[in-house]
Amino acid sequence: MKLKYVLLGMLYFVQGIPYGLQSGLLPVYLRTLGHSFTRISLAKVLYVPWMLKVVWAPLVDHYFGKKTWLLLTMSGLALACLGCSFTTPEVNFGPVAGIFLLMNFFASVQDIAVDGVAVQLLGHEEVGYGNMIQVVAYKLGSVMAGGGLLTFLHHLGWGALFVYLATVYALAIVFTWLADLKVRRRHASTDSYLQASRSNPWRIFRDILYVPDTPWTAGFVFIYKLGEQGAISMFPLFLLDHAFSPAKLGFWNGIVSMIFSIAGSSLGGHLIPRQRYLLPRMRILLTLRFGCLVFQTLLMVLYKDTSSLFEVASVLSICLQHFIAGLITTLAFSMMMHCSQKARESIQATHYSFLSTLEVLGKLVFSTLAGSLVDGLGFVSAFGVFLSLSFVSVMYALPVRPEAEGL
């Protein structure tokens, strides 16, 4: 395996830790403390730094080197983990929320730097494998911090858990310090462009929108996860209210389902280099995902707590859902990177951050409201909304656009 793949894999792995903590461990932990679905969903407001990362992306592009940003952000994450080890969330959730907000800020800045390195390091024929590594490594970090640690939280304890995570970040810092990122140096023409853009930031935004296929890609990445995110975040909590223990849920939804998700992402990474056009495959996968959501909704309508058949069917639906989601995510990120590689070198990291910010925004806005929908409408009616949004993404990808087909 090429050294750059190992480096990118390590960086994306540690970047997935904050997401795993907040999406896998925190919701179940808060539910066991008796919090409502609305409050659990509103906790996702802590993801707001990811929505704002396009604001500080030009700073990462223009100042210092990518390696410096990586070392600074991972040091911040290590310190945040150490600080969180001294908190008591069952007594006062405020300090925990503040630290999680800070962790999301550092992780969002780290993401800009890593993406900038990836866009420059990967050739066109390596984008599929590179994004497979990105998605898989990110999910592995998420699984380790979410499902894995949720399973052993009772044995480790809150404080020891975060000391362990701080140690992981410390090892990543050493690895990054010793690594040669081999990022291209800027040319004189690029430096003059940066000087002009600093006095007129809107120029960067205008140039981003003028990159070929950017408007269509931006719209797609904003909507393609809407329905899926509601189902993925709420269905495990439905099972938690129907005789699934936190440890059992952590194993099936936090570990086993992520194995299927990683398998889907890996398959997508192997298929992409062999495909000239990604959009037709994306249409097929979006349709399959819609069918999976229909099946999951029917399970909720017919579910019986005492039936092992429904438990097995629920676990299978989660695994299938994550497998398809893994395929879709790898294809989507590859489409985003192909689009960003069409931009000038001086704005590639900012361009990719713009697209990935919209991707996070699409996931965050709706998943934040998903709990309120469940509290207000009930699980079945809320899943009807999720189905409608999932169908919107299918319809968006249907029109034939020659330039988009080449993404």
Q: Please state the domain extents for the chain.
A: 3-405
Task: Count CA atoms closer than 13 A to 99's CA, side-chain side.
Answer: 21
**Residue 316, C-beta contacts closer than 8 angstroms, at least 6 positions apart:** none
Report pLDDT for 169.
93
Q: Which residue has the tokens 């390596």?
A: 126
204-235 pLDDT, tens digit each: 778 888 888 899 999 999 988 888 888 888 88
The whole-angstrom separation of Cα 50 and Cα 361 is 8
Residue 163 tokens, joined: 């000391």
Report pLDDT for 187.
47
8 Å CB contact between 229 and 363? yes
pTM over the 0.75 mark: no
Percent of the chain topping pLDDT 90: 15
184: left (phi over 0), alpha (psi -120 to 50) or beta: beta
Distances (CA, A) of 309 to 6, 55, 224, 292: 42, 49, 31, 17
359-382 pLDDT, tens digit each: 878 877 777 778 788 888 888 888
Dihedrals phi, psi of 93, to nearest 5 degrees: -85, -15
SS3 label, residue 157: coil
Distances (CA, A) of 75 to 105, 106, 165: 13, 9, 12
8 Å CB contact between 69 and 113? yes
Mean pLDDT (the chain, rounded): 81
Nearest to 60, CA basis, from 6, 108, 8? 108
Residue 62 tokens, joined: 């223009």
CATH class, domain 3-405, is mainly alpha
The whole-angstrom separation of Cα 172 and Cα 168 is 6
The whole-angstrom separation of Cα 124 and Cα 341 is 8
**Residue 174, C-beta contacts closer than 8 angstroms, at least 6 positions apart:** none
Q: Which residue has the tokens 């889907």?
A: 264
11-63 pLDDT, tens digit each: 989 988 888 888 777 777 777 777 777 777 777 788 888 878 878 787 887 77
**DSSP codes of every residue in 370-391:** HHHHHHHH-HHHHHHHHHHHHH
The whole-angstrom separation of Cα 82 and Cα 162 is 6
Lowest mean pLDDT among 175-179, 192-196, 229-233: 192-196
Any idea what the Cα angle at residue 30 is, between residues 25 and 33, rounded to 5°?
A: 130
